[in-house]
Structure 1
Amino acid sequence: MPKDFLKDARDEYDVVVIGSGLAGLTAANILGRAGYRVMLAEQHYKLGGMATWFKRPGGHIFDVSLHGFPYGMIKSCRRYWTKEIADSIVQLKAIRFDNPMFSLTTSYDREDFTNLLTTKFGIAPQTVNDFFDAARNMNFYDDQSMTTGQLFERFFPGRQDVVRLLMEPIVYANGSTLEDPAITYGIVFSNFMSKGVFTFEGGTDRLVELMHQDLLKSGVDVRIKCNVEKINVEQGSVRSVQINGRTIKTRAVVSNSNLKATILKLVGPEHFDRKFLDDTQAVRLNNSSTQVYIGMKPDELIDESMGDLFFTSTAKEFRTDLLLSRDVTSRTYSFYYPRTRPQGRPRCLIVSSTNAHYSDWATLDEAAYEASKQELIESTLDHLDQYVPNIRQRLDHVEASTPKTFQHYTAHVEGASFGTKFEGLAVSRALPEQVRGLYHAGSVGIIMSGWLGAINYGVIVASSVDAQLMKAPDTSATVEL
């Protein structure tokens, strides 16, 4: 008999959270701590969404997503998760760049960037200070007409080398482009500039396990391999969800699923007004990515002078279209040293990541798809060999993932790594005005991308759900706040 992953589940919950990305996990934990009956339903067999991991023979554990986030992650994890999680967040030692315009290493904070821009790039100190202040003072409610490209032209006209230094890591971190609103760049950049780039010591597997433990402590009913097929709406309000063919009543739903899939598939267009549907259809998905995972042999160590994050490019100039092209010119390498997972076997791992279009991979037949993956692996190893000599003889395992891989494991439309473009944020926030009890928390609007953005959006949405449930208390259960 197939396993019943809903065995012993309640027939009714105060909140059902769909998907266990960092936003969904955080919203569930906050609401569980508040005393609400919360179910977290994840369609995959692992929690974490994009923030997950996988194991391979030989003791290799690969983190799937970026292992770098701003200092603010410490405060958010301490407040909304646990001290143990917050205390495990450590700073990355070195961020490297190598491209035809410049080669350098930085701690990626305001002090070091100011020094680089004034000494290496010859920018006036006042101009650098004014730029940082302008970025730091940006907020959600600013005028959105200025693009990131226009912001750079205002402070650094004609300086493509400066634009490259300032822009490439943020493109990797959240998929933003020069054509996106400047605030989508400024807010994220300022977060990193506070104190640099940080990571979680112990790896994503340890992080998610600690989060799982805290969810259970908070009373959240955590369910894996539970696919939410439908959100049922009656008279303009959420009434229930259909999970693995079973109907479970709920007073509120927090969808950590793709924004457009939530509205158009899980709920259905018939429950929204025409203007809202038009706005939803106009929301652009962000791009996806390809990754090559490389596990070194047990006795093969990589000198830590390689840095933690390494932004490389062979392109003579910085262009967004080149970052997304199948003809790969830009690769970002994440280097994992034994200190990354001090509790595990001493291993060195390398993950190469490139931004990519889903459409470049989705139309390939099986043979062409596998050939393209192998070509991606070989070209990556060819490129890496100049930095890690004899890489092919030193590796123990190598494989690649594509936008189709991310779509398969996360059920995210087109495998979009960073949700939607900026216009998705307004649609996401307006959901409960269309359907009472319906909320969305996820990687939307670029600002809410990345680990810190996802967690903080989960916090924001949990507060909104709590406010709604407080207005209409459930007499069938005692809720302690």
Structure 2
Amino acid sequence: MTEKHYERFSLDIDFSVFDHIVIGSGMGGLTAATWLSKAGKKVAVLERHYVPGGFTHSFKRKKGFQWDVGVHYVGNMKKDESLLGMFNFITESKLEWESMGSIYDVVYVGNKRFEFKAGKENFIKQFIEYFPEEEKAILKYLSLIEKANKRGTLFFFEKVFEPWLSKSLGQLIKKRYARYSQKTTWEILSSLTDNKLLIAVLCGQCGNYGLSPKFSSFAAHAMVIGHFMEGGYYPKGGADQICLKTIDVLNALGSKVFINANVQEIITKNNTVTGIRVDDTLINCSSVISNVGVSNTFNQLLSEKAKQHCGFNLKHVQPSTGHICLYVGLSKSSVELNLPKHNVWYYANENTDQLIENATCSEAPTNFAYISFPSAKDSEWETKNPGTATIQAISVGKYDWFSDYENQPWRNRDEAYKKMKSDFKDTMLNRLYSLFPQIEGNIEVTEVSTPLSTKHFSNYKKGEIYGLAHTPERFTLPFLRPKTKIKGLKLVGQDITLVGVSGAMLSGVLCATTILKLKSWRLFKEIGDQKK
């Protein structure tokens, strides 16, 4: 990644030429910025990190090893799918995608292996083969997924309604969605079957939204399952191509992305945005779009008076989970090591809630692991990095395990913290060797990240990766929408919609629509024309 895509923040820059300022360069902020730019607006995107992209960026280590930090695969990317049209729109069709193949996820429950195959009919056929006595439950499950997601589409679109419409039609939309959003995944699935193994397998991808079945909203589960039903895809060249190709379009439209720009405050007067403070310097502006998470926006950037005016209350919704990740660099290619494109989800047994919620630092990889193979998914990897491969192996990582070291400097924390990371590495390697014994003896580089690493780079206070937890309560919060009670302040990001790059993109579209109103329909038409 080179700095030709973006500029370093400087107080000498004239920000008066920009119509909108976006705080944070994750996918929600970049999407909103691109939509506004395509409508003729000039947008400045400010990123506190030294690379842009939020959870779409990648990082490198010696000998060219590179790993993505958040985007491991994306669904709904078949030809004519709306999400592909969205990506083509914000990147001018410069971003290429590759299918992960007919199998996109494999779930292990103990020593039992279950494949998730692309396509609804393939899914049905495969699962009925696994659980022939549960055909009725499987078909009912998929029916509920589809019904929940149809109503979910309206639920999220309601977020752009004006207050008068939200209080009338909006209430009906929310009420109809509540039969899915206000029940846990466990409640819905246990009403269909008492087969604990089937429930465990159907919830095998729960790490994609960060909560086990007894705590997660079925609405969140349904959206994620539906998102990947037609298979998984990966950006050609790596996950960072998502943000880089988008930033190229922004630059061409006269907007800019600035790194090393740590916004300290959103300044308001009479409940109206008047500016932001960066490096203890005031920058006047009248429109701010925050992409740094709802909690950070209200608890860190706004005054107490402004926060109270917004009616912000997160007492009943906790931040999402953290994670620990082992990054592995290998001295042979993915082909030589026979590494798959599909992801692997490993659970020691069918008690998913117990394995995840009662995890301990030392035992986490023994009981649960998510394993991804970036180099195998990227057809350009071998050309750029011949004879090498990469793996990412993730497990539960609770912030409290590491909180004693939170105020110590990055890469210079106590030996006890380093030992925790080393112990995790050893335990996770044992899990990898049990599933992929061929990699043993071919490991060249390893590195471990914890929730403290996530906090350092993303500024999420508890090292969470999915913003607010995807509980039923989350779907009842009235302020999770682009427009706030502060004039000139809008919100984007996965908190506003749902987890993941697609959820963040949707939030950007909703935010831009809130600002542009009817003018945004021209942009929707342009996306529709691209699909024809």
Unaligned residue ranges in structure 1 (runs of 5+) = 471-481
Matches of residues 201-212 of structure 1 in structure 2 within 5 Å? 201-212=236-247
Q: Call closer, same or farther: CA 1:390–1:83 in 2, change over 3 Å.
A: closer
How far 1:465 sits from its partner (Å)?
2.4
The match for 1:269 is 304
Q: Once structures 1 and 2 are overlaid, which stretch shifts more, 55-64 or 5-14?
A: 5-14
- Residue 312 of structure 1: SS of its match in structure 2? strand
What corresponds to 1:474 in structure 2?
none
CA shift at 1:116, angstroms?
2.4
Pick aligned residue for 1:345 from 385, 390, 396: 385
Q: 1:300 to 1:306 in 2, by over 3 A?
A: closer
Q: Distance in 2 between matches of 1:319 and 1:439?
A: 36
Residue 128 of structure 2 corresponds to 118
Which amino acid counterpart does residue 386 of structure 1 have in structure 2?
S
| 1:294-336 superposed Cα distances (whole Å, 9 cap, x missing partner) | 0001467554464420111223532255366222111011013
Task: Name the residue aligned to 2:502.
Answer: 452
Q: Does 1:96 align with 2:106?
A: yes
**Residue identity matched to 1:357:** K
Cα distance change, pair 358–429 in 1 and its aligned pair in 2 (3 A): same
- In 2, Cα distance between the equivalents of 1:419 and 1:7? 33
The structure-2 alpha-carbon separation of the partners of 1:428 and 1:5, relative to structure 1 and needing over 3 Å to count, comes to farther
Change (3 A) 1:185 1:59: same
The aligned residue for residue 525 of structure 2 is: none
From the superposition, tell whether residues 302 and 377 of structure 1 become closer, same or farther in structure 2 (CA, over 3 Å).
Answer: farther
Letter in 2 for 1:164: A
CA contact (8 A) 1:252 1:465 kept: no
- 2:216 paired residue number: 180
Q: Distance in 1 between matches of 2:212 and 2:353?
A: 9
Q: Cα distance 1:163–1:10, how it changes in 2: closer, same or farther (>3 A)?
A: same
- 3-state SS of 1:20 partner: coil
Change in Cα spacing, 1:116 to 1:384, as seen in structure 2 (3 Å) is same
Secondary structure of the corresponding residue to residue 319 of structure 1: helix
Q: Are 1:334 and 2:372 counterparts?
A: yes
**Aligned 1:356-367 pairs, distance under 5 A:** 356-364=397-405, 366-367=414-415
Corresponding residue number in structure 2 for 1:224 = 259
Q: Distance in 2 between matches of 1:187 and 1:420?
A: 16
1:378 has 2:387 as partner: no
The 1-side partners of 2:115 and 2:189 are apart by 22
Partner of 1:421: 469
Match of 1:190 in 2: 226
Q: Which moved more, 1:222-231 or 1:454-463?
A: 454-463
Give the Å deviation of 1:197: 1.5
Residue identity matched to 2:292: S
Q: Which whole-Å CA distance do the structure 1 matches of 2:498 and 2:378 have between them?
A: 26
**2:403 and 2:59 mapped to 1: Cα distance?**
23
1:239 pairs, out of 274, 287, 291, with 274
Give me the whole-angstrom Cα distance separating, in 2, the residues matched to 1:236 and 1:164. Answer: 48
SS at match of 1:385: helix
Q: Structure 2 CA distance, aligned partners of 1:132 and 1:465?
A: 36
**Larger displacement relative to structure 2 (257-266 or 415-424):** 415-424
* 1:330 aligned partner, one-letter code: F
The alpha-carbon distance between structure 1 residues 202 and 174, as it changes in their structure 2 partners (threshold 3 A), is same
CA distance in 2, matches of 1:4, 1:50: 20
What displacement does 1:462 show?
1.5
With structure 2 as the length reference, what TM-score do the two structures score? 0.81
Which residue of 456, 475, 491 maps to 1:440? 491
2:188 is matched by which residue type in structure 1? L
Q: 1:417-448 deviations in whole A, cap 9, x for unaligned?
A: 00002445635435734211111111226x51
Question: Residue 106 of structure 1 corresponds to which residue in structure 2?
Answer: 116
Structure 2 counterparts to residues 29-428 of structure 1, below 5 A: 29-72=34-77, 73-85=83-95, 87-94=96-103, 95-100=105-110, 102-138=112-148, 139=152, 140=155, 141=174, 142-143=177-178, 144-156=181-193, 158-169=194-205, 171-178=206-213, 179-193=215-229, 195-273=230-308, 276-277=311-312, 279-298=313-332, 301-304=335-338, 306-319=340-353, 322=356, 325=359, 326=361, 327-328=363-364, 329-337=367-375, 340-342=378-380, 343-346=383-386, 347-364=388-405, 366-389=414-437, 391-422=439-470, 423-424=473-474, 426-428=477-479
Q: CA deviation at 1:380?
A: 0.9
Provide the rounded CA distance (Å) in 1 between the counterparts of 2:296 and 2:309: 17
CA distance in 2, matches of 1:280, 1:399: 34
- For the residue of structure 2 that corresponds to 1:5, the secondary structure is coil
After superposition, give the CA deviation of every residue in 1:153-190 in whole Å (9 maximum; x if it has no partner): 1212x211111111121x22121332232212112211
Cα 1:146–1:389 change in 2 (3 A) is closer
Q: 1:387 Cα deviation (Å)?
A: 2.6
**Backbone CA RMSD of aligned residues:** 2.5
Across the two proteins, how many residue pairs are aligned to each other? 462
Ranges in structure 2 where 5+ consecutive residues have no aligned partner: 1-7, 78-82, 156-173, 406-412, 521-532
Could you give the per-residue CA deviations for residues 269-298 of structure 1, whole angstroms, max 9, x where no partner exists? 211337823x23433211111110000014
Change (3 A) 1:369 1:122: same
Deviation at 1:201, TM superposition (A): 1.7
* TM-fit CA distance, 1:101: 6.4
Inter-CA distance 133–111: structure 2 relative to 1 (3 Å threshold): same
Residue 393 of structure 1, CA deviation: 1.8
Q: Is the 8 A contact 1:295 1:396 kept in 2?
A: yes
Aligned CA distance change for structure 1 residues 281 and 322 (closer, same or farther; 3 Å): closer
What code does the residue aligned with 1:167 have? C
Secondary structure of residue in 1 paired with 2:188: helix
The letter of the residue matching 1:322 is I
How far apart, CA to CA, are the structure 1 residues paired with 2:139 and 2:115? Answer: 21
The percent identity for this pair of structures is: 19
Residue identity in the other structure for 1:337: S
Q: Distance in 2 between matches of 1:91 and 1:174?
A: 20
Q: 2:168 — aligned with what?
A: none
Is the CA contact (8 Å cut-off) linking 1:52 and 1:204 kept in structure 2?
Answer: yes
In 2, the alpha carbon distance for the partners of 1:231 and 1:289 equals: 30
Deviation of 1:108 after TM superposition, in Å, equals 4.3
